[in-house]
């Protein structure tokens, strides 16, 4: 009886008894969810336009962040280092399209996936040669990202919101809104969507596959830079940052591999739910550290009932 009480009663009683702490947990979960959604968007855009699962998205986050910090270490002003880093990511997108994707057109999906693993290994080696393997500090202050905190006292309690987290959320929202406007309103955005809906039909009306591939890999690079700045400000910049890409996998499984909306909703849901579970169930009952596996279990449960994800399209094949 006591065990059932600790699962079904006590956590909710704790939420009601300390609403200020609940707000703090929800905010931290929201921040994590926004960052998960950003990472997942990079996967979704590339898969939607080319049917390639981009294993290299994680190292692209690291490479973009290291490039930004590297430019600043060479004496380039921070605000100039950002567009220079974007230029590097554009050159990288062109190089990947010309050297990797174009020769592998019409190859099986597994071959293309293995190619992205090759890109990952190349960027790790190339990055270590250029930037070294030591940890670096993100240039937060030089980018005018505030580092203080806002403090509130709701319900007679205490809630602290880090200004850099608030900046990350606002920046991510603006980036996602801009991306959605681009995909739905611009000519190139509609071309990306058309290519994702039907490759053959899109090519038959003159849409350039090479141009779209360069564009989506560059957009993924922009998302990687934004993610690298935010995560780097929280945890520093190193090649260990690459593992954050794995946090996007349950987001993709939950929201659907081809859905931009699914990446956003899935990221927010997993960020909030894993934080709630960790604080109110994981630490009291399981000793904590549930954030490393909760999202995967949640995604697995969803896949059992909806294999295409919550927002994925159901595929019907005639045999």
As a whole number, the mean pLDDT across the chain is 88
Q: Where are the domains of the chain?
A: 2-305
Instruction: Find residue 161's DSSP bridge partners.
Output: 150
Strands of the chain (E only): list them: 149-152, 159-162
**pLDDT tens digits for range 41-79:** 989 888 887 778 888 999 999 999 999 999 999 999 999
Q: What letter would DSSP give residue 138? A: -
Tokens of 243: 């593992």
Average pLDDT of the residues in 119-130:
93
CA distances from 187 to 44, 142, 198 (A): 19, 36, 16
pLDDT tens figures, 169-223: 999 999 989 988 998 888 888 888 777 666 666 666 777 888 888 999 999 999 9
pLDDT digits (tens, 9 = 90+) for 80-110: 999 999 999 999 999 999 999 888 877 888 8
The H or E element spanning position 297 is: helix 294-305
Among 66, 67, 82, residue whose Cα is nearest residue 236:
66
Q: For residue 156, name the pLDDT band (cuts at 50, 70, 90).
A: confident
- Selected residue with higher pLDDT from 150 and 240: 150
Among 93, 319, 47, 125, residue whose Cα is nearest residue 222: 93
CA distance 76 to 70: 9
Burial 125-162 (b: 16+ CB within 10 A, else e): eebeeebeeeebebbbeebebeeeeeeeeeeeeebebb
- Structure-block tokens of residue 91: 């050159």
Quick: pLDDT tens for 282-318: 998 888 889 889 999 999 998 898 888 888 766 555 5
Q: Which two tokens stand for residue 132?
A: 């070294």
Which pLDDT tens digit goes with each residue over 217-248?
A: 999 999 999 999 988 888 888 887 787 778 88
Q: What is the CA radius of gyration of the chain?
A: 21
State yes or no: pLDDT of 19 exceeds 90: yes
């Amino acid at each position: 009886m006591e065990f059932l009480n600790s699962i079904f009663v006590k956590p909710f009683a704790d939420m009601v008894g300390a609403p200020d702490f609940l707000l703090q947990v929800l905010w931290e979960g929201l921040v994590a969810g926004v960052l998960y959604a950003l990472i997942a968007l990079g996967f979704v855009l590339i898969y939607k336009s080319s049917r390639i699962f981009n294993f290299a998205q994680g190292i692209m986050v690291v490479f973009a962040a290291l490039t930004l910090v590297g430019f600043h270490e060479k004496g380039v002003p921070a605000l100039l280092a950002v567009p220079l880093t974007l230029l590097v990511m554009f050159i990288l997108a062109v190089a990947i399209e010309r050297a990797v994707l174009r020769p592998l057109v019409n190859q099986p999906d597994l071959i293309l996936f293995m190619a992205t693993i090759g890109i990952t290994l190349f960027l790790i080696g190339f990055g270590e040669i250029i930037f070294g393997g030591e940890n670096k500090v993100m240039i937060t202050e030089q980018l005018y990202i505030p580092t203080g905190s806002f403090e509130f006292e709701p319900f007679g309690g205490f809630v602290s919101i880090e200004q850099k987290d608030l900046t990350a959320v606002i920046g991510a929202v603006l980036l996602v809104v801009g991306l959605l406007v681009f995909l739905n309103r611009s000519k190139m955005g509609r071309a990306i969507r058309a290519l994702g809906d039907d490759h053959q039909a899109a090519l038959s009306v003159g849409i350039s596959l090479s141009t779209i591939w360069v564009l989506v890999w560059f957009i993924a690079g922009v998302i990687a830079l934004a993610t690298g700045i935010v995560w780097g400000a929280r945890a520093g910049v190193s090649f260990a940052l690459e593992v954050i890409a794995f946090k996007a996998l349950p987001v993709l499984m939950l929201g659907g591999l081809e859905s931009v909306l699914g990446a956003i909703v899935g990221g927010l849901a997993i960020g909030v739910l894993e934080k709630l579970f960790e604080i109110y169930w994981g630490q009291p009952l399981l000793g904590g550290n549930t954030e490393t596996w909760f999202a995967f279990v949640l995604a697995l449960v969803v896949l059992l009932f909806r294999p295409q994800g919550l927002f994925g399209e159901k595929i019907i094949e005639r045999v």
